[in-house]
Amino acid sequence: MRCFGDGDPVYEAYHDDEWGRPQLSEQQLYEKVCLEGFQAGLAWITVLRKRVALREVFAGFDPEQVAGLDPAPLLADARLIRSGPKLRACVRNAEATLALREAGGLPALVLEHAETGRPAPERWTDVPASTASSTRLAARLKRAGFVFVGPTTVYSLLQACGLVGDHLRGCDARPRAEQERAAALRGP
């Protein structure tokens, strides 16, 4: 059983190999912040289908290469999600990611807000849209200069990068995701 994504190879691969599994490097987290921001108001599959092009134009989501980029020309690229505010947010969030390095970095900040101890959800109605932890992280990210980072978007970020365990109880991907999550939270 899969939590979501059945029937679409892109969605299935995302569910099986990525979602809910630790992705905690600066570049991975910066990408997730951007992708979750792009998702606002759209279906997640739309973002997944545009991700190859987004990775191309945002240099693999390397914040050093994206900071200072002029997003205006990207509005004409039909391969992308052509939202001026969302494209500008990627640039702003790259700058904020770089600025956070002086305070320990984006990975350290996000990792502080990992959630443990909650039972595995039985169904999607058991999964919250946001939590106290995602609300705190959203506020800290906003203070650090990030945009498009409300509590719900940040909760989706925590789910996507494996810092909450929201694969449903009967999901085939859950055991491996939980094992990798536990190892990541234990550290080296």
Q: What CATH number did the domain enclosing 138 receive?
A: 1.10.340.30
Q: What is the pLDDT of residue 35?
A: 97
What is this structure's pTM?
A: 0.95
* Residue 3 domain flag: no
Query: What is the tally of structural domains in the chain?
Result: 1
Q: Are 73 and 94 in contact (CB under 8 A)?
A: no
Name the residue range of residue 57's domain. Answer: 9-186
pLDDT for the residue numbered 54: 98
Report the alpha-carbon distance of residue 182 to residue 59 in Å, rounded: 31
Compute the residue count for the chain. 188
Residues 25-61, buried b or exposed e (16+ Cβ, 10 A)? ebbbbbbbbbbbbbbbeeebeebbebbeebeebbeeb
- pLDDT at site 188: 66
Provide block-wise average pLDDT over 10 residues at a time, the chain (188 residues). Answer: 94 96 96 96 95 97 97 96 97 98 95 92 96 98 97 97 95 95 85
User: Tokens 């932890």 label which residue?
Assistant: 133
Residue 45 pLDDT: 95
- Separation between Cα atoms, residue 158 and residue 150, nearest integer Å: 12
Residue 169 lies in a domain: yes
- The confidence score (pLDDT) of residue 136 equals 98
Tell me what pLDDT residue 186 has: 86
2 belongs to a structural domain: no
Domain assignment of residue 4, yes or no:
no
Per the domain annotation, does 177 fall within a domain? yes
**Residue 1 falls inside a structural domain:** no
Residue 140, CB-side half-sphere exposure with 13 Å CA sphere: 18
Active-site residues, by number, are: 14, 36, 44
